[in-house]
């Protein structure tokens, strides 16, 4: 492989090469179809996707509905392409399409997927099957369900190597080599372990070893670090990056997390509603986005280094078969002009390096990056009042095991305290203790001057009313058999006997406070999007006009643009209603945009606490320092130029 | 931004408004499938025969109108029975009681079992152990033997048979319901109701039970099939409606000695009971399949328990 020049230098170099390849392809027409070697330089195109289309298999319907369409991109050996999109944008469909696979109910339409010049979509099934694993490898999202729990790791790795050329000795050597490369060689008896005996990070490394075992030419990574904590994520990302370069493999990294993609990818393709909205080098896309959607996404991402307001995107992405006329983004777009409704805009190139976007006003959007500043800074919180909640020496147990040790912190009135920690740090147990769901704890907790009793049964109505809880997963927190109106009304039923009319008014008031319309009363949860569901959960918590809202990872199940609007909603409620918040999260940058105080937890202990600026700018505890270092940072954010 | 508002209105217009009792929806979907339609058709015909039969009998069912085991003729389409009564009249008149008893026993049994299983799942811990070990003890008796035991001790009273069958169903229903409810009880919306101090009874009624609708529907169908068989079986053994009153189960018993002379005395009730159980079972199967289709998120969790129930048929 000769493309060492492309990946060794800065992203700029590879960008130039890519565009050179593209121009030559357009100019001579030689590369299209074969895509192997371009005229100038020695650029090899490992993966070429041309006008790929995946359709919903329609049985006798009028017209086939496309799930993804007009997808074109190229990846060189040693290069990582980040494929970014929110849920429903078609990124997983794309990942599987690169393996020549579609989910049940979908079919390939037009277009090509060329791996080293060979169109894998035209291969007979047998050949395609032999290709997978050997020349095209896949790393799935959840390693714990991808590995067979009943087979030892060694057995599973050797299974993959069976298709690797060479005799037994060569395979065993290769196996040993792989373990070193993915950083598993130091784990004792790794080959004789079962998957459940390994940590999540180790499991994902096994997945990587399986993927790289046969020295593939193309590797597709489907959100491989989702579910890992930031420290593990960082190490796995470094491993992936190193392997891609040393093997000169072309990688497609699929993720919803722009910060992660900005760390690993050379090039980025942003997907929206089954189309590539914008493509370009990572640097260009993140510093000077050309598509209003990318711009919107970037404005929604919290930053660890400055406390800015998070601006969500209004509306929802359209579903296949229900897409608006013209540009698919036009109904949500702040740059929309009447021409946008006329037809699907073409890819418009905005820089000679190949940075292009599917937007009529791409050039204007790019120009904005230089002139307009970043998102506005977040407004100041109301002044702190006397402590509402005071936690001292709280220790909690599960059976004989103590999971929380001497937790101490205070929540001042009208302030937001973020509790930050990785999974297993005990932060959710802490929330459950405070709301009364986990009664086996000891210590002094006072709420509004009175001691807080342990279980729900012993709490007074006043305490129950004044502390409300919003839980993590809005898909599980609403009863699917009850309407939004019934759900929101429920706490009211419990505490107040009101005539129907007044009750309805209160429900509507709560919905309005959570930025939902009155018409939502009759909907069932399955008719709502994730963000709307979480707003309903917030409305349910608000209807009793509580003083303290405990929010447990309320945005972790939501897309980044929706997360932004939910966080902004909470911040406004805090300001307008004098609400105190306990905001539990694993997302450090998010803390910056919402919290006044922060409590960092590790292994059931508080390791650092203080005002948010102080902790995030000058962390004292080694754990906090490490955490801060491992958080993936957007190397470049919109408007910072 | 104006166009955004327009989009949201457009999207909300697409959402269906007031909905649906789930069981109506599932039943509707089930009977629209061929399987469900056939099941419902068979059940409908048998129920119709049993329901309007007593009103349209050609002869009083208890009167001796022909000679014993008379061959079928125009006047007696299904011939005569062991004592020379009209088989057709006795068949028409002898079904409603079986159906009624089976239906009541099933409702009682599933109701009791559901309460039992959901309580075990909801309260958990020690209560779970106690409730389920009691279920194990009841389960240790074969259903028919259990019912026979009760009836032979306390005498063949109709209400007792119904109760015995119901009690013998309850622990089996409790197992299935508990398995499904365990998952529901861990859901955040149940927690949300608990946090505001809602009493357990209310949480179960409002948050847990509505999410078990499809499981309970399948259980109802399944248990109905068993009830029919057990009650008909008890009746065959002489525990049930006492002679000379006509009943399908006992008809099989009294006419079996003349099986060669006039097989209809046995065949008519046998065919009807067989058709009825095949019908209820087919319909239940269709319901189980239809409720899987309800899917949409929350119901997916019930999938294993429903299929398990289906596998038992």
Please give the pLDDT value at position B260: 86
- Of the pLDDT bands very low, low, confident and very high (cuts 50, 70, 90), residue B111 is very high
A472 interfaces chain B, CB cutoff of 8 Å: yes
Q: What average pLDDT does range A573-588 have in this prediction?
A: 89
As a whole-number percent, the residues of chain A with pLDDT over 70 amount to 90
Chain B interface disruption, residue of A461, A479, A493, A539, most B CBs within 10 A: A479
Q: Which tokens hold the place of A432?
A: 């459950």
Please give the pLDDT value at position A117: 84
Name which of A339, A341, A321 is nearest A331 in CA terms: A341
Partner B, chain A 541-560, Cβ-Cβ below 8 Å:
544
Asked if B4 and A314 come within 8 Å (Cβ–Cβ), the reply is: yes
Asked if A526 and B4 come within 8 Å (Cβ–Cβ), the reply is: no
Q: Residue A500's CB: how many other CB atoms inside 10 A?
A: 8
Please give the pLDDT value at position B7: 41
Give the minimum alpha-carbon distance from B185 to chain A in angstroms, rounded to a whole number. 11
Which of A314, A322, A526 shows the shortest C-beta gap to B296? A526
Residue A597 · residue A412 · CB < 8 Å: yes
Please give the pLDDT value at position A377: 79
C-alpha span between A434 and A209 (Å, rounded): 43
Asked if A315 and B7 come within 8 Å (Cβ–Cβ), the reply is: yes
C-alpha span between A424 and A144 (Å, rounded): 17
- Of the pLDDT bands very low, low, confident and very high (cuts 50, 70, 90), residue B9 is very low
**Side-chain-side CA neighbours of residue A12 (13 Å):** 1
Name which of A578, A541, A386 is nearest A464 in CA terms: A541
C-alpha span between A419 and A394 (Å, rounded): 15
Q: How far apart are the first and last CA of chain B?
A: 57
Nearest CA in chain A to B200: A457
More confident residue, B83 or B39: B39
Name which of B126, B122, B211 is nearest B174 in CA terms: B122
As a whole-number percent, the residues of chain B with pLDDT over 70 amount to 87
| Residues of B with Cβ-Cβ distance to A314 under 8 angstroms | 1, 4
Residue A407 · residue A430 · CB < 8 Å: yes
More confident residue, A169 or B292: A169
Asked if B188 and A472 come within 8 Å (Cβ–Cβ), the reply is: yes
Asked if A331 and B6 come within 8 Å (Cβ–Cβ), the reply is: yes
Asked if B197 and A322 come within 8 Å (Cβ–Cβ), the reply is: no
More confident residue, A472 or B294: A472
Name which of A82, A54, A70 is nearest A250 in CA terms: A82
C-alpha span between A558 and A572 (Å, rounded): 19
Please give the pLDDT value at position B279: 94
C-alpha span between B276 and B269 (Å, rounded): 10
Give the minimum alpha-carbon distance from B7 to chain A in angstroms, rounded to a whole number. 7
Secondary structure of residue A68 in the 3-state scheme: strand
Give the minimum alpha-carbon distance from B182 to chain A in angstroms, rounded to a whole number. 14
More confident residue, A377 or A282: A282
C-alpha span between A119 and A100 (Å, rounded): 10
More confident residue, A608 or B24: A608
Which of A316, A332, A456 shows the shortest C-beta gap to B195? A456
Query: DSSP assignment of B159-203, as one string?
Result: HHHHHHHHHHHHHHHHHHHHHHHHHHHTSHHHHHHHHTT--HHHH
Please give the pLDDT value at position A231: 84
Give the minimum alpha-carbon distance from A494 to chain B in angstroms, rounded to a whole number. 7
- Of the pLDDT bands very low, low, confident and very high (cuts 50, 70, 90), residue B152 is confident
Q: Which residue has the tokens 């799935």?
A: A140
Cα→Cα distances A301→A304, A306, A634, A638, Å: 10, 11, 9, 10
C-alpha span between A203 and A181 (Å, rounded): 14
| Residues of B with Cβ-Cβ distance to A472 under 8 angstroms | 188
Chain B interface disruption, residue of A481, A486, A522, most B CBs within 10 A: A481
Query: Which tens digits make up the pLDDT trace of A419-435?
Result: 998 878 888 889 989 98
Which of A456, A481, A526 shows the shortest C-beta gap to B210? A481
| Residues of B with Cβ-Cβ distance to A527 under 8 angstroms | 15-16
| Residues of B with Cβ-Cβ distance to A487 under 8 angstroms | 189
* Residues paired with residue A417 on neighbouring β-strands, in sequence order: A582, A597
C-alpha span between B211 and A480 (Å, rounded): 8
The C-alpha angle A73, A75, A80, rounded to 5 degrees, equals: 115
Residue A278 · residue A357 · CB < 8 Å: yes
| Cβ partners under 8 Å of residue B59, min gap 6 | B65, B85, B86, B89
Q: What average pLDDT does range A235-253 have in this prediction?
A: 89
| Residues of A with Cβ-Cβ distance to B195 under 8 angstroms | 435-437, 456, 464, 468-469
Q: Which tokens hold the place of A108?
A: 């390939």
- Of the pLDDT bands very low, low, confident and very high (cuts 50, 70, 90), residue A312 is confident
Q: Residue A437's CB: how many other CB atoms inside 10 A?
A: 17
* Residues paired with residue A601 on neighbouring β-strands, in sequence order: A606
Q: What average pLDDT does range A526-548 have in this prediction?
A: 88
Q: Which residue has the tokens 């861990």?
A: B186
Residue A92 · residue A254 · CB < 8 Å: yes
Nearest CA in chain A to B298: A480
Q: Which residue has the tokens 């370069």?
A: A245
* Residues paired with residue A606 on neighbouring β-strands, in sequence order: A601
Q: Which residue has the tokens 């409730």?
A: B131
Q: Which tokens hold the place of A396?
A: 């909690």
Residue A494 has φ and ψ, to the nearest 5°, of -70, -35
pLDDT, chain A, mean: 83
Which of B11, B196, B297 shows the shortest C-beta gap to A464? B196
Asked if A315 and B4 come within 8 Å (Cβ–Cβ), the reply is: yes
Q: How far apart are the first and last CA of chain A?
A: 36
| Cβ partners under 8 Å of residue A347, min gap 6 | A276, A279, A356, A357, A358
C-alpha span between A598 and A575 (Å, rounded): 18
* Residues paired with residue A220 on neighbouring β-strands, in sequence order: A138, A252
Cα→Cα distances A631→A230, A231, A235, A304, A548, Å: 6, 8, 11, 9, 29
Asked if A522 and B18 come within 8 Å (Cβ–Cβ), the reply is: yes
Asked if B192 and A477 come within 8 Å (Cβ–Cβ), the reply is: yes
> With 90 as the cut, is the pLDDT of residue B276 above it?
yes
| Residues of B with Cβ-Cβ distance to A459 under 8 angstroms | 197
Q: How far is CA A476 from the centre of its chain?
A: 19
* Residues paired with residue A404 on neighbouring β-strands, in sequence order: A396
- Of the pLDDT bands very low, low, confident and very high (cuts 50, 70, 90), residue B309 is very low
Asked if A471 and B213 come within 8 Å (Cβ–Cβ), the reply is: no
Alpha-helical regions (H) of A543-603: 560-577, 588-594
Q: Torsion-angle region of residue A74: left (phi > 0), alpha (psi -120 to 50) or beta? A: beta
Please give the pLDDT value at position B19: 53
Give the minimum alpha-carbon distance from B285 to chain A in angstroms, rounded to a whole number. 23
Of the candidate ranges A269-283, A340-354, A358-372, the one whose mean pLDDT is the lowest: A358-372
Which of A315, A478, A524 shows the shortest C-beta gap to B19? A524
As a whole-number percent, the residues of chain A with pLDDT over 90 amount to 16
Chain A interface disruption, residue of B19, B21, B197, B203, most A CBs within 10 A: B197
A468 interfaces chain B, CB cutoff of 8 Å: yes
Nearest CA in chain B to A434: B195
pTM of the model: 0.76
> With 80 as the cut, is the pLDDT of residue B32 above it?
yes
| Residues of A with Cβ-Cβ distance to B7 under 8 angstroms | 315, 324, 331-332
C-alpha span between A21 and B150 (Å, rounded): 87
Partner B, chain A 345-404, Cβ-Cβ below 8 Å:
none
Q: Which residue has the tokens 């991808």?
A: A146
Give me the sheet containing A401-412, strands edge to edge.
A401-412, A387-398, A441-447, A450-451
- Of the pLDDT bands very low, low, confident and very high (cuts 50, 70, 90), residue B281 is very high
Alpha-helical regions (H) of A29-148: 91-97, 125-131, 143-146
Q: What average pLDDT does range A294-300 have in this prediction?
A: 87
Please give the pLDDT value at position A370: 64
Q: What average pLDDT does range A607-614 have in this prediction?
A: 90
Please give the pLDDT value at position A371: 58
Residue A83 has φ and ψ, to the nearest 5°, of -105, 105
Which value, in Å, is the radius of gyration of the alpha carbons in chain B? 24
C-alpha span between A495 and A484 (Å, rounded): 19
> With 50 as the cut, is the pLDDT of residue A274 above it?
yes
Q: What average pLDDT does range A527-539 have in this prediction?
A: 87
CA dihedral B259, B262, B267, B272 (to 10 degrees): -140
* Residues paired with residue A377 on neighbouring β-strands, in sequence order: A308
Secondary structure of residue A393 in the 3-state scheme: strand
Please give the pLDDT value at position A8: 39
Which of B187, B195, B198 shows the shortest C-beta gap to A437? B195
Please give the pLDDT value at position B45: 94
C-alpha span between A628 and A87 (Å, rounded): 27
Q: What average pLDDT does range B280-301 have in this prediction?
A: 68
Query: Which tens digits make up the pLDDT trace of A132-182?
Result: 888 899 988 887 788 888 999 989 888 888 877 678 888 888 888 888 888
Please give the pLDDT value at position A26: 36
- Of the pLDDT bands very low, low, confident and very high (cuts 50, 70, 90), residue B117 is very high
Nearest CA in chain B to A437: B195
Q: Which tokens hold the place of A48?
A: 């070429």
Nearest CA in chain A to B186: A476
A478 interfaces chain B, CB cutoff of 8 Å: yes
Please give the pLDDT value at position A372: 54
Q: Which tokens hold the place of B90?
A: 């006795």
- Of the pLDDT bands very low, low, confident and very high (cuts 50, 70, 90), residue B300 is very low
Q: How far is CA A320 from the centre of its chain?
A: 22
Query: DSSP assignment of A495-539, as one string?
Result: H----HHHHHHHHHHHHHHTT--GGGGG--GGGS-HHHHHHHHHH
Q: What average pLDDT does range B142-155 have in this prediction?
A: 83
Q: Which tokens hold the place of B3?
A: 């166009």
Residue A267 has φ and ψ, to the nearest 5°, of -120, 155
Cα→Cα distances B308→A392, B176, B219, Å: 49, 8, 11
Based on the number of CB atoms within 10 Å of its own CB, is B112 exposed (0-12), middle (13-18) or buried (19 or more)? middle
This complex has an ipTM of: 0.70
Q: What average pLDDT does range A560-570 have in this prediction?
A: 87
Q: What average pLDDT does range A572-594 have in this prediction?
A: 89
A497 interfaces chain B, CB cutoff of 8 Å: no
């Amino acid at each position: 492989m000769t493309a060492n020049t492309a990946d060794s230098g800065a992203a700029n170099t590879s960008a130039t090469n890519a565009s050179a390849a593209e121009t030559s392809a357009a100019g001579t027409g030689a590369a299209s179809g074969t895509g192997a070697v371009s005229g100038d330089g020695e650029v090899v195109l490992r993966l070429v996707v041309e006008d790929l289309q995946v359709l919903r298999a329609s049985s006798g319907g009028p017209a086939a509905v496309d799930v993804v369409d007009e997808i074109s991109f190229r990846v060189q050996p040693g290069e990582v392409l980040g494929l970014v999109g929110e849920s429903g944008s078609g990124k997983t469909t794309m990942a599987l399409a690169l393996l020549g696979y579609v989910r049940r109910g979908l079919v390939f339409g037009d277009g090509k997927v060329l791996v080293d010049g060979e169109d894998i979509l035209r291969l007979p099934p047998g050949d395609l099957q032999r290709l997978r694993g050997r020349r095209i490898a896949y790393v799935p999202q959840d390693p714990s369900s991808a590995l067979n729990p009943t087979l030892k790791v060694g057995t599973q790795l050797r299974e993959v190597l069976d298709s690797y050329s060479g005799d037994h000795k060569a395979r065993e050597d290769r196996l040993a080599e792989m373990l070193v490369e993915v950083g598993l060689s130091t784990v004792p008896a790794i080959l004789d372990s079962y998957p459940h005996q390994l940590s999540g990070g180790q499991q994902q490394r096994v997945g990587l070893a399986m993927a790289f075992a046969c020295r593939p030419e193309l590797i597709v990574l489907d959100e491989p670090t989702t579910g890992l904590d930031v420290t593990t994520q960082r190490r796995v990302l470094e491993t992936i990056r190193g392997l891609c370069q040393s093997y000169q493999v072309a990688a497609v990294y699929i993720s919803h997390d722009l910060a992660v993609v900005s760390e690993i990818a050379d090039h980025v393709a942003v997907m929206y509603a089954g189309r590539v909205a914008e493509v370009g080098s990572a640097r260009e896309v993140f510093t000077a986005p050309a598509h209003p959607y990318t711009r919107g996404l970037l404005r929604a991402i919290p930053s660890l280094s400055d406390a800015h307001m998070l601006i969500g995107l209004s509306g929802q992405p359209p579903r296949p078969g229900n897409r608006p006329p013209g540009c698919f983004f036009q109904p949500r777009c702040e740059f929309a002009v009447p021409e946008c409704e006329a037809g699907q805009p073409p890819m418009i190139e905005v820089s000679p390096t190949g940075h292009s976007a599917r937007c009529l006003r791409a050039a204007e959007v790019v120009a904005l990056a230089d002139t307009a500043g970043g998102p506005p800074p977040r407004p100041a919180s109301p002044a702190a009042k006397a402590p509402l909640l005071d936690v001292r020496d709280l220790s909690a147990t599960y059976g004989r095991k103590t999971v929380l040790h001497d937790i101490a912190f205070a929540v001042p009135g009208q302030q937001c305290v973020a509790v930050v920690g990785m999974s297993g740090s005990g932060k959710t147990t802490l929330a459950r203790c405070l709301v009364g769901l986990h009664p086996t704890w000891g210590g002094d907790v006072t709420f509004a001057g009175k001691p807080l009793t342990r279980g729900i049964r012993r709490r007074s109505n006043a305490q129950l009313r004044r502390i409300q809880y919003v839980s993590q997963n809005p898909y599980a927190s609403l009863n699917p058999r009850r309407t939004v109106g019934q759900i929101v009304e429920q706490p009211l039923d419990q505490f107040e006997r009101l005539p129907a009319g007044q009750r309805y008014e209160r429900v509507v008031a709560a919905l309005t406070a959570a930025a939902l319309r009155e018409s939502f009363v009759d909907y069932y949860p399955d008719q709502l999007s994730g963000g709307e569901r979480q707003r309903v959960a917030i409305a349910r918590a608000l209807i009793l006009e509580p003083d303290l809202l405990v929010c447990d990872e309320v945005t972790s199940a939501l897309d980044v643009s929706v997360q932004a609007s939910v966080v902004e909603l909470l911040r406004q409620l805090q300001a307008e209603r004098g609400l105190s918040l306990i905001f539990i999260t694993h997302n450090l940058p998010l803390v910056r945009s919402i919290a006044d105080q922060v409590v960092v937890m590790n292994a059931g202990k508080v390791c650092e606490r203080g005002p948010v600026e102080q902790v995030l700018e000058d962390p004292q505890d080694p754990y906090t320092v490490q955490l801060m270092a491992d958080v993936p940072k957007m190397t470049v954010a919109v408007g910072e130029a | 931004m104006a166009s955004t508002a327009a989009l949201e209105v457009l999207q909300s217009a697409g959402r269906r408004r007031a909905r649906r009792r789930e069981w109506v929806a599932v039943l509707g979907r089930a009977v629209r499938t061929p399987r469900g339609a056939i099941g419902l058709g068979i059940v409908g015909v048998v129920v119709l025969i049993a329901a309007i039969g007593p009103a349209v009998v050609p002869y009083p069912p208890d009167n001796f109108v022909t000679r014993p085991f008379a061959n079928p003729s125009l006047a007696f389409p299904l011939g005569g029975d062991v004592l020379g009564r009209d088989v057709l009249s006795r068949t028409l008149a002898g079904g409603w009681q079986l159906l009624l008893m089976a239906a009541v026993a099933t409702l009682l049994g599933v109701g009791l079992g559901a309460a039992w299983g959901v309580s075990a799942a909801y309260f958990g811990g020690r209560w779970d152990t106690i409730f389920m070990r009691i279920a194990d003890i009841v389960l240790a008796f074969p259903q028919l033997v259990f019912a026979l035991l009760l009836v032979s001790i306390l005498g063949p009273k109709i209400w007792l048979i119904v109760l015995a069958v119901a009690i013998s169903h309850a622990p089996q229903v409790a197992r299935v319901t508990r398995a499904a409810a365990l998952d529901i009880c861990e859901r955040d919306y149940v927690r949300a109701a608990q946090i505001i101090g809602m009493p357990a009874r209310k949480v179960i009624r409002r948050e847990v039970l509505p999410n078990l609708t499809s499981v309970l529907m399948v259980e109802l169908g399944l248990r109905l099939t068993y009830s029919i068989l057990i009650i008909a079986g008890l009746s065959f053994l002489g525990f049930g409606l006492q002679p000379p009153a006509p009943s399908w189960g006992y008809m099989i018993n009294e006419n079996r000695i003349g099986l060669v002379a006039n097989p209809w005395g046995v065949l008519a009730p046998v065919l009807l009971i067989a058709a009825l159980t095949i019908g209820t079972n087919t319909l239940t199967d269709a319901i189980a399949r239809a409720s899987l289709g309800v899917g949409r998120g929350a119901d997916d969790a019930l999938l294993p328990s429903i299929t398990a129930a289906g596998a038992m048929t």
